[in-house]
Structure 1
């Protein structure tokens, strides 16, 4: 997880930094076969060099970007747990709990759905 240290060290709010570190650690532990990298100034997890999920930080929330197909698949659940979303990402407000079950299912969906993908992003 050292690859994310520089990114997380720039998060000014200590509790937000801890939350981001916790989420990144959780993903790494739950999905140990995923690669890690920083691209477009955000931590990302990849599988066979294809994008699986990325994270970014804003003042009020952590953004989670699993691509459009995953947002479409899990839209109702994302809203039901209290997060809002666009067609490319969803936002977890810092004061809301992380729904790790939902996050894990989104990641697992992307791994399975992109198993034969030969590009970084879905076409």
Structure 2
């Protein structure tokens, strides 16, 4: 995961850095076909040149960005997990476990939904 080393090194809180690294490693292992990239200072995963999911770090949470369609598709599960969200990202608080089952569903949805998509972002 050398693509993410510089990003991870900038996370001051060791616990936040460790949790973020574990999440990125999990995605890399679960979806090895996805390309690891850093764009706009965010680690992200792409598939055939199209955006699948990105991560960012905030003081109180790890933000996961599956695009608006990924959030709308799993809105009830996001709420059930106790996560806050906006139109573009899900906030996974540092004091709660990461719901890897939900994360897997969002990624799998984006891969399938965008399999014939050629643009980076959905329009």
- TM-score between both structures, scaled by the size of structure 2: 0.99
Match of 2:2 in 1: 2
* 1:69 CA displacement: 0.4
1:36-115 paired onto structure 2 within 5 Å: 36-115=36-115
Cα RMSD of the aligned pairs, angstroms, is 0.4
What count of residue pairs does the alignment treat as equivalent?
123
5+ residue gaps, structure 1, are none
CA distance in structure 1 between the aligned counterparts of 2:47 and 2:72, rounded to whole angstroms = 21
CA distance in structure 2 between the aligned counterparts of 1:117 and 1:41, rounded to whole angstroms = 24
- TM-score between both structures, scaled by the size of structure 1: 0.99
* 1:115 CA displacement: 0.3
5+ residue gaps, structure 2, are none
CA distance in structure 2 between the aligned counterparts of 1:118 and 1:97, rounded to whole angstroms = 34
**Structure 1 runs, 4 residues or longer, greater than 6 Å off:** none
Q: What SS is found at the alignment partner of 2:32?
A: coil
Comparing 74-83 with 21-30, greater Cα deviation is found at: 74-83
* 1:45 CA displacement: 0.1
What per-residue deviation string (whole Å, max 9, x for no partner) do you get for residues 83-103 of structure 1? 010111000000100110110
* 1:112 CA displacement: 0.1
In the alignment, is residue 22 of structure 1 matched against residue 22 of structure 2? yes
Q: What SS is found at the alignment partner of 2:51?
A: strand
Match of 1:33 in 2: 33
